[in-house]
Structure 1
């Protein structure tokens, strides 16, 4: 017998009716799960708050996707309209859990799509696993999706799947940058005390463990509180230890504060390669002239060679279209938002019956495609329910059209992504 039930009275409906019973003495009839031939997809992403940069291109990406789907999706001879129900997490993990619950119990979505940091993905996917809702997520390291949620490598999860890179991959990319320099191999590491940072503290699977396995000496600066205004203690520790490289996980405003204070206090390492904060051009611009030479992982760019399965566009097409319409520079997360929609539509088409949770889960499990960001295959991931996507290393330099451009500076593991410039030292 299948572990996935098509019955309307799934766990989420029982929970929903229980909640309604507690809220009011009169229980109104709930809607049937299927409303004609409409497919409802929950879309959870931060578009306001400290990590709003992850969602800044959502409107543009979703407009392009909805244009392609305006006539619906044909599945097994039946045409279904596809309705994306979008929710803003306001950059809050609690809000992410709240809107996921609303999408499940009130909107009765057929499948959940979530992205943009562990503070979004973890609470949303936990809600989906609890309430037995098919879920695909992206844009946080797969290690956080799996291990931070208590994943068992022997079992995995029943309802939630995820595609993105992992810590091993960014350490490969970072070290391929640093090996281009003459350093003492001392790395100072600082981690934000949020879901993304805490997920990297694991003694076996965390960032420090992976760096040491590569032969680097790690000076661990520990966890710091997000939006702190004084990093003097951490800077002194790194300076006194003589580290040549700084890495870790920062929110954009935290990195600006940390680095400008470092310069003021006479600490300038040879390389600063930081996750999360340095993804966005606005964060680099906030450093002024010091932004040139900052480095980070590159998981999508106009330089990526994989075309869209939805629109046929190249990464360059999508990036230039966004910049022309919005007047803003492209950002890395937009490629993954497009890819998330690609994967969702592919799942619907292959499901045979997109109103059947079991059929959706089988289609998710057997996903094997190449999206705008690269291959997605849930059968070949490092852990159950995961798929690893390409990531390379890059460096920001002064630009011509924009204040700074992000150049790919290493492609050791993914040679199909073209190198644009060699990596250089900050000193």
Structure 2
């Protein structure tokens, strides 16, 4: 292992500083700069690229708002966002995180969009003692996927999103509104999300059994598979009427096409990841009608940005007006990521000091466009949960419309329709 990965950035910086003092070299730029650098790792290319569609819009919002600098303790600091593409690869995410920390010397590193991005970035931040803020990964795959200990937590990494208990409650809340044989087929990939959702300890299996559902799990498949015949055959043989999973959009498109070709017609299809995006639903044509998913955020959510003051509806409208694209759930989570980051920087005693930013993050109690974020309330250290409801897609005038059909855990987020069976 190289020095870069075995020494923390703080230790590395201290060594450079000591050498500089001994040889009259200048101190590192990180100690001198009045520009706060925020690193951002995001999957702008690859199978997860749909998560990054709103990146440019959100970054432009914050760059515009911060053009005059950020006031902290009577001083004005410039704020620079440095973006790196993870290419939807965990290895690449870790590499660019190191680049941000050692080459760009960022003061705070951020990341979003599934464990493939957030986990390697957070691991590098923890190792190198750099404050890190992430979201858009269920908290269990993020925390336990990094071997987190609930009694200790992590020192430098902070994360906000919903958990597996929330998505399980939401999915079963949708299914419990329907008339089916309660036979559930699971399409879970061999990746951090799939392994967590299918976990016999914290995933779907024990809850489904307790609620009287029969689970048909043909085993983990490899991401970007081009043949789902074995899974489809297993589902048909077992009489599956409810289909669930958490798969990248390209995998669902392949599976759903082959399901039609092979005569597999479930009554309810509820997926995480792939079915969260209007672009994906739109690409399926009539086959997108009635598909359901969890809803992390929508224009109807009763929350506003503490940074811009925009309501959820106003943020969605601004995005659609600026880009011509329909709103997506990651839009608000990218926005809230930087909301919370800026809030912590404003509250830090010294934004040039990593420990000061870390301490400010730990004390976060903030009202964001996705709801309250508070890292002091658990469920484990440095984790804050955000609300989750359920939605179903309908095709209206050739365009996908997402209706809120399940809000049992969060009745303040209004339902807009009832659940309907596919083809029913």
How high is the TM-score relative to the length of structure 1?
0.92
Residue number in structure 2 paired with 1:93: 90
- Separation in 2, partners of 1:34, 1:271: 56
* 2:155 matches 1:158: yes
Contact 1:192 1:251 (C-alpha < 8 Å) held by counterparts: no
The offset of 1:14, in angstroms, is 4.2
- Separation in 1, partners of 2:70, 2:348: 12
Question: CA separation of 1:74/1:215 partners in 2, compared to 1, >3 Å: closer, same or farther?
Answer: farther
More deviation, 340-349/210-219: 210-219
- Separation in 2, partners of 1:221, 1:383: 32
Specify every segment of 5 or more residues in structure 2 that has no aligned partner in the other structure, as ranges: 1-6, 17-24
Residue number in structure 2 paired with 1:25: none
Contact 1:121 1:137 (C-alpha < 8 Å) held by counterparts: yes
Residue number in structure 2 paired with 1:423: 419
* 2:90 matches 1:65: no
More deviation, 128-137/194-203: 194-203
Specify every segment of 5 or more residues in structure 1 that has no aligned partner in the other structure, as ranges: 1-9, 20-27
The offset of 1:121, in angstroms, is 0.3
**What does the per-residue CA deviation read over 1:320-349, in whole Å, with 9 as the maximum and x for residues that have no partner?**
111122111111111100000110011011
Question: CA separation of 1:311/1:181 partners in 2, compared to 1, >3 Å: closer, same or farther?
Answer: same
1:394 to 391, 395, 409: 391
Residue number in structure 1 paired with 2:284: 287
The offset of 1:17, in angstroms, is 9.5
Show the 5 A alignment for 1:230-249: 230-249=227-246
**What does the per-residue CA deviation read over 1:257-316, in whole Å, with 9 as the maximum and x for residues that have no partner?**
111211221211110000000011121122221101010000011111101111111111
Which structure 1 residue ranges, 4+ long, deviate > 3 Å from structure 2?
13-19
Residue number in structure 2 paired with 1:116: 113
- Separation in 1, partners of 2:161, 2:314: 22
Higher fraction of helix: 2
Contact 2:13 2:28 (C-alpha < 8 Å) held by counterparts: no
What is the aligned-residue RMSD (CA, Å)? 1.8
* 2:420 matches 1:412: no
2:375 to 373, 378, 383: 378
2:331 to 313, 334, 352: 334
Show the 5 A alignment for 1:14-413: 14-15=11-12, 31-400=28-397, 403-413=399-409
**Number of equivalenced pairs:** 409
Contact 1:168 1:210 (C-alpha < 8 Å) held by counterparts: no
